Structure formats: structure tokens, C-alpha cells
Amino acid sequence: MIPIRDTQASGTRPVVTYLFIGINTFIFLLQLGSGLHSEQILYTYGLVPAKYTIDTISAYFSFSNHIISFFSYMFLHGGFLHFAGNMLFLYVFGDNIEDYLGHFKYLAFYLLCGVISGLFHLMLNPLSRVPTIGASGAIAGIMGAYFLLYPRSKILTIIPIIFIPFFIEIPAFIFLGGWFLIQFYNVAGQDGVSQIAWWAHIGGFIAGMALIRLNRYLPETKPGQRLQQYTQKKATPKFQIIKVNAKENSYDLYGTIEVTSIEAIAGTQKIVNIPWGFYKRFYRVAVPPGVQPGMKLKLAGLGRLKPDSTKGSLYLKVDIKNIILKII
């Protein structure tokens, strides 16, 4: 299952999430240039449990390297699919957790989840000499937090069947809960040494749930509040999922599209996903300048099938959202 986006809107731009994606991309490109599977890089900056538990191996590494490795390992990746998959999950789920925590607390949350994930792996594989790398543990923490905060959010997911991609909306508690259970299944089913640190995923997910609970006891940070003033979103999502409904004895369908007051004045374009029947299709919708609240946009031919083989229309009611800035 490949997540595309969620339906949980965030009110701020996820600048820290973008920062982490940028750093991971930069380091991945460096890895490609110096050798993706360079043993010197993997053993120096990866998390190697034996580096901490076996004296003869530990002696080769400095005290500072022992500390740095708990952070550096989460910015290394073993291949393009490993890197791309992690960045996709970070992009889909990270913005909402950053919006909830604030930028600075989210930065600490991400790194702490990665460190706890690494410790979890270390405790359960203390003698392993295999370098552990990847952002999966930190991102699993984000997923654990999302699981508790937004269980009823929907995740637009691609399920490839043979060569045909099917789009389906899955409740977050099913998508993420299922992902968490799969990690245990993989641990139970692994034969010998696995190339994937499943316990690190589990540890990160649990850390995310625990830390998001502890957050309620922490005060807001003044710098974070000031930064959020400048990162407030001034536009509704470019991509929107439209829930449609029908009236009795009518072949027309009805839904709602969201724009801000600025978008309503200037006009905008949105890409919408319209689930209807067994189909989930994408359409580009042009919102003309000067629309008013409650005005309906007519999309001809997107309604229900009539007896004469023509189709009714889809009417999208314009809902204008005002973006409120926090003044600190």
C-alpha cells in the first residue's frame, strides 16, 4: 500500500518536515557519489550495536562517534526505494504532527524518536555487527503520534493490483495500526538475520505514541509560536478529496470545494479526487475570480448516468475559509 496524502488539513507550512526531506536528499546524493554501500561510511555513521557492546570493536571508535551515530544513522539510506519510501511517509504524515507540536518541538520530537528507535534496536540486538541505517524509526514515531491524534483521518492509498493502480481511502487507524502489526509479523517470521530492523520500527512507533502523550505537560515555546506566525498557510490544499452526495430523483451530484478569501478574489485551480461508485477520478477545477460563498461551480457530465445514456452534472459549492494569523 502506497499512501498519497491524508485528509487531515494542517494550518501551517511544514518547514521542518521539508528541512528533513532536504537534508536526507542531500546526504543520499552524497552517498551516491561516494559509494552507496561504502563500509567506511556505514560503519562510521551507521548504528552498529557491537560498537557499544563489544570492547574490541568499540575501541576503534571515539566517544563522540558513539554519540553522533545515534543521530547520523537516521539520515543514511541503503537504496533509492528505501530513501523514496521513507520520504513519502514523512511527507504524508509529518506535516500534521509538525502543525500540532509546533516547529521546534517537532524537530526535537523527530530526533528523539529516531534515538529511541535506535536504542530499542540496540537493546534487542546487542551483539549485531550489521550497520543499521535509515529514517524509518523516526518516521515510525511520527506515524505513532498520528495514530493517536488523527485515527479517523482518511489516507488516500494506491493499491497496485497486477499493473492497475486502485485508489482507496483507508481510515488512519486501520492503515497505521495494520502497518504496526505487520512489523510484529515480520519479526516473528524472520529466519536468521533480517536486513530490515523491524524492532527499530516498533520502538519508534511506541516512542511516538508515548512522546505525543507527554507533550501535553510541556509548555509552548515562544520561538516556535513566533515562527508559526510566518508559516501559517494562506491557501487551501491544492489537492482536495470531494465527498459527493445525490438528491432523490436527481441525476446531479453535489459536493463542496474549499478556497480562501484570497483565492476567491484572485481565482485559483485545484486538483480534486471525486470518489463515486467504484471509481475515484482526478479532475482539474478552475475557480474563477470573484466567487462568493455558497456559489456553485458546475462540472457537466460528472453526475449519474441517465436513461438516455447522458450524465447529469456535478455541482461544487464554494466554501471560503478565512486564514487567521496568530499575532504574538
**Phi, psi for residue 72 in degrees, rounded to 5:** -70, -30
CA-based end-to-end distance of the chain: 42
DSSP per residue, 70-109: HHHGGG--SSHHHHHHHHHHHHHHHHHHHHHH-HHHHHHH
193 lies in some domain: yes
Judge if 258 and 309 occupy the same domain.
yes
Running DSSP on this structure, what letter comes out for residue 130? Answer: S
pLDDT greater at residue 277 or residue 256: 256
Mean pLDDT of the chain: 87
Judge if 137 and 204 occupy the same domain.
yes
Boundary (domain end) residue, out of 164, 199, 231: 231
Judge if 17 and 52 occupy the same domain.
yes
Residue 256, strand partner residues: 317
326 lies in some domain: no
Running DSSP on this structure, what letter comes out for residue 311? Answer: B
Q: What is the mean pLDDT of residues 116-138?
A: 93
Print burial letters for 124-136: b (CB count within 10 Å at least 16), e (below 16).
bbeebebbbbbbb
Judge if 153 and 39 occupy the same domain.
yes
Distance from chain centroid for Cα 138: 12
Which pLDDT value is given to residue 170?
A: 92
Which pLDDT value is given to residue 162?
A: 74
Per the structure, how many domains does the chain have? 2
Nearest to 224 by CA among 322, 99, 94, 324: 99
Give percent of the chain with pLDDT exceeding 70: 90
Q: Is 230 helix (H, G, I), strand (E, B) or coil?
A: helix
Judge if 220 and 142 occupy the same domain.
yes
13 lies in some domain: yes
Query: Which ranges constitute the DSSP H helices of 125-260?
Result: 136-149, 172-189, 198-214, 222-231
**Of 27-31, 193-197, 293-297, 309-313, where does mean pLDDT reach its minimum?**
193-197
Domain that holds residue 57: 2-231
Nearest to 210 by CA among 104, 136, 121, 116: 116
CATH label of the domain that carries residue 274: 2.60.260.20
Judge if 67 and 149 occupy the same domain.
yes
* Residue 166: its H or E element: strand 164-171
The span from the CA of 104 to the CA of 277, in Å, is 43
pLDDT greater at residue 68 or residue 328: 68
Running DSSP on this structure, what letter comes out for residue 60? Answer: T
Judge if 275 and 163 occupy the same domain.
no
Contact present, 240 and 272 (Cβ < 8 Å): yes
pLDDT digit string, tens, across residues 227-269 = 766 777 666 677 777 888 888 888 899 999 988 888 888 899 8
Amino acid at site 166: F
Boundary (domain end) residue, out of 172, 198, 231: 231
Running DSSP on this structure, what letter comes out for residue 277? Answer: T
Cα–Cα separations (whole angstroms), residue 136 to 87, 96, 193, 237: 9, 18, 18, 26
The span from the CA of 270 to the CA of 272, in Å, is 6
C-alpha cell at 134: 535509515
Q: What is the mean pLDDT of residues 162-185?
A: 88
